[in-house]
């Protein structure tokens, strides 16, 4: 395996979505850096692989980055994976990749599943121009301030939100823009995958009724 840092996408729910190239990469690298090693160990076991692993998450990324990149600089190969989907997309990895670029080490994307793109592609909303805003703030005022941009944003905006907070978030969206066309995508690629589309005030009613 060529010496590099490999950014490997993994399934977001359906294990059948992992690519042949991802499997080859995970099998070939010297070490796998995982957001949660216990979670990734299950995936590797499903693939029939046993690998050396290191945890890499928000709380230790700055401490671990130098060690992992020293391995690459010495001729080794490291795969970065998140719990689900594409690393760095609202997941750890930015510090690691930024430092790899600063050190002029090779960084290789191994593309695959991504909840953002999967949801957008099936949303029925315009995909030619969009803005990805990641996870919304938890506190009410900060969340409202973040959602205020929808009033002047013509592009499709994509957010991640917790199932525990989605009703409260939709209440804010419905208050600010009750007729705005939105789509809720949940349980993507899984058995109970669901899309709810329509004006925000209508989608709020659908989601609120499901929650009750």
Task: Indicate the domain borders of the chain.
Answer: 4-110, 115-211
Q: Give CA–CA dist 61/76, Å, rounded.
A: 19
Question: Where does 115-211 sit in CATH, by number?
Answer: 3.30.950.10
Q: Are 23 and 48 in contact (CB under 8 A)?
A: no
Q: What is the pLDDT of residue 210?
A: 79
| Cross-strand partners of 199 | 181
The 10 Å CB-count burial string (b at 16+, else e) for 164-182 is eebeebbebbbeebeebbb
Q: Which two tokens stand for residue 75?
A: 């001729």
* pTM recorded for the entire structure: 0.94
What Å distances lie between residue 48 and 6, 8, 52, 83, 178, CA to CA? 20, 17, 14, 18, 50
Task: Give me the average pLDDT of each 10-residue run along the chain (212 residues).
Answer: 98 97 99 97 97 96 96 98 97 97 99 97 97 94 94 95 95 95 98 97 93 63
What integer pLDDT is reported at residue 212 of this predicted model?
A: 59
Please give the class, per CATH, of domain 4-110. alpha beta
């Amino acid at each position: 395996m060529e010496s590099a840092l490999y950014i490997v996408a993994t399934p977001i729910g359906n294990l059948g979505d992992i690519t042949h190239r991802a499997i080859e990469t995970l099998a070939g690298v010297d070490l796998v850096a995982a957001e949660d090693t216990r979670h990734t160990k299950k995936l590797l076991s499903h693939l029939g692989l046993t690998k050396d692993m290191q945890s890499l998450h928000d709380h230790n990324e700055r401490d671990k980055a130098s060690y992992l990149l020293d391995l690459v600089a010495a001729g080794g190969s490291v795969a970065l994976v998140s719990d689900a989907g594409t690393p760095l997309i609202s997941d750890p990895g930015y510090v690691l990749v930024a430092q790899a670029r600063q050190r002029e080490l090779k960084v290789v994307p191994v593309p695959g599943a991504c909840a953002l793109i999967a949801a957008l592609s099936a949303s029925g909303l315009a995909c030619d121009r969009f803005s990805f805003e990641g996870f919304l703030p938890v506190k009410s005022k900060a969340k409202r301030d973040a959602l205020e941009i929808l009033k002047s944003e013509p592009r499709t905006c994509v957010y991640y939100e917790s199932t525990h907070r989605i009703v409260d978030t939709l209440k804010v969206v419905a208050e600010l823009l009750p007729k705005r066309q939105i789509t809720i995508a949940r349980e993507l690629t899984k058995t109970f995958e669901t899309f709810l589309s329509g004006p925000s005030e209508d989608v709020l009613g659908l989601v609120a009724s499901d929650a009750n």
